[in-house]
Structure 1
Amino acid sequence: MPHRPHDPAAAPTVVLVHGAFADASSFSRVIPELLARGLEVLAPAVPNRSLLGDCAYIASVVRRIAGPVVLVGHSYGGAVITVAGAEDNVAGLVYLAGYALEEGESLGELQGRFPDSDLAGALVYAPFPVAGSATPGTDVSVRADAFPAVFAADVDPGLASVLAVSQRPLAAQAFAEAAPVAAWRTKPSWGLVSSADHTINPEVQRYGYRRAGMTTVEVDSSHLVMLAHPGRVADLIHEAVRAVTR
């Protein structure tokens, strides 16, 4: 696809990238807030099959957008936007309780620098068929009974129970693949720390954001900050949009 420089005066499209064990509905309370502010929004489904494959897919979505893009990544989606954010028309990055990988670093390596969260003891592993291969892949998900406390402690219990049984698993392969690029090195970035997070140790979030020199805010929230505190999340995204629009 030919190079298409973005117009910094154009209003960016906000692309919301969900994480592991979730789908785009995890942004269901933030999307109305953003639309009400007149922002263009897109929330694609991430395959959650491999870090490199997921990054390539989101990059292809970004390239189809004619103007500038602000990429927003929650959790594992932070790792995805770290790579996909290198696309020419990405004007800024927003991390929500996310992984901000360094070039050459994997999820496992970043997380391994810090004590495990409660997530580690609540994971379930299951084989899934891989087309063209005799070796199955491994899906990783969260025990349904543990999901509300680990993932969504301050989310409506009825909704948390629905999310627990409708997870989009992450293939284990994604934890070991290294990011080939770190887009935060060349793009302005914002980070939100969920300080009551039991899924990703908040210190993992703080470390990645500090290393990237991000503008950072902290919210006393569970991992699903977009559902628990949609206004705070929308404010941060809107701040990023205003900052990259001249």
Structure 2
Amino acid sequence: MSTTPTALLVHGAFADASSWSGVIAELQQHGIPVVAAPNPLRGLASDAAYIASLASQIDGPVVLVGHSYGGAIITVAGTTENVVGLVYVAAYVPEQGENLGELQGRFPLAPLVSNLKEWTYPVEGAEEPAVEVTIKPEAFPAIFAADVPAAATEVLAVAQRPLAASVFTEPASAAAWRTKPSWALVAGADEAINPEVQRFGAKRAGATVVELEGASHAVAVSQPKEVADLIREAVGATS
């Protein structure tokens, strides 16, 4: 069994595991084992249960890394026994019993909120369809990935993974940062999650904080080395 923690990367809404590609390459170059999980994006409790199950099946210690909504997931899933640290990347850091609507409502809302498009999807056993959201394609580049080349953002805008709208009202059932060490990267020019929301959550969690001025929400794509450096710090501290 390895004593070097595995970095389990959890993407957020409107993206998929490929958004970690640059970060994965950086971590692999330094010999850090990595798993980039497919986040279902269907509900906080169910998504966290999936990630917790995955983490528990990894031999040895795990450092959970969450981007955006993925931060809420690792906050809940991080109570898993073999999770030894949490890394938040431009992410929500909720308290137990708090939902994301309440957390971001403490501060002025980011432009993302007024640029969401609603869709519906069927739910087995339910009479009514559920609601999911994506970012309006024309607004996606500026809101999600302003520091990523335009050609790439045009592709990302039409390849979004939708997020169940229910996650904004579903309270976090646990806050693993209360018992596990945490690190946080604040994206200073984030238009999807107000940087003040990121700073507030990170400070409340007692996280070791790095802030990248001018970084967009897609900081893992635009600045993978800096993101990987923080993950490496967490892995080193928990080895």
Question: Taking structure 1 as the reference length, what is the TM-score of the superposition?
Answer: 0.95
Q: 1:20 aligns with which of 6, 13, 16?
A: 13
Q: 2:150 aligns with which of 131, 153, 157?
A: 157
| Equivalent position of 2:76 in the other structure | 83
How far 1:11 moved relative to its partner? 0.5
**Identity rate of aligned residues, in percent?**
58
Aligned letter for 1:181?
Answer: A
> What are the within-5 Å matches in structure 2 for residues 22-101 of structure 1?
22-101=15-94
Q: 2:216 aligns with which of 192, 209, 222?
A: 222
Structural RMSD (CA): 0.9
Aligned letter for 1:214?
Answer: A
Aligned letter for 1:154?
Answer: D
**What is the CA–CA distance in structure 1 between the aligned matches of 2:123 and 2:238, rounded to whole Å?**
41
Q: How many aligned residue pairs are there?
A: 238
Return 5+ residue gaps in structure 1 as ranges.
Answer: 1-6
**What is the CA–CA distance in structure 1 between the aligned matches of 2:26 and 2:151, rounded to whole Å?**
22
Q: Deviations over 1:37-78 (max 9, x none)?
A: 101000010100001110000001001111100000000000
Return 5+ residue gaps in structure 2 as ranges.
Answer: none
How far 1:120 moved relative to its partner? 1.2
Question: Taking structure 2 as the reference length, what is the TM-score of the superposition?
Answer: 0.98
Structure 1 residue matching 2:37: 3-state secondary structure:
coil
Query: Does 1:180 find its partner at 2:159?
Result: no
**What is the CA–CA distance in structure 1 between the aligned matches of 2:34 and 2:139, rounded to whole Å?**
32
**What is the CA–CA distance in structure 2 between the aligned matches of 1:69 and 1:156, rounded to whole Å?**
33
Aligned letter for 2:46?
Answer: G
How far 1:158 moved relative to its partner? 1.1
| Equivalent position of 1:129 in the other structure | 122
**What is the CA–CA distance in structure 2 between the aligned matches of 1:61 and 1:229, rounded to whole Å?**
27
Moved runs in structure 1, 4+ residues, more than 2 A? none
| Equivalent position of 2:225 in the other structure | 231
**What is the CA–CA distance in structure 2 between the aligned matches of 1:216 and 1:197, rounded to whole Å?**
16
| Equivalent position of 1:4 in the other structure | none
| Equivalent position of 2:237 in the other structure | 243
**What is the CA–CA distance in structure 1 between the aligned matches of 2:148 and 2:235, rounded to whole Å?**
27
**What is the CA–CA distance in structure 1 between the aligned matches of 2:97 and 2:116, rounded to whole Å?**
26
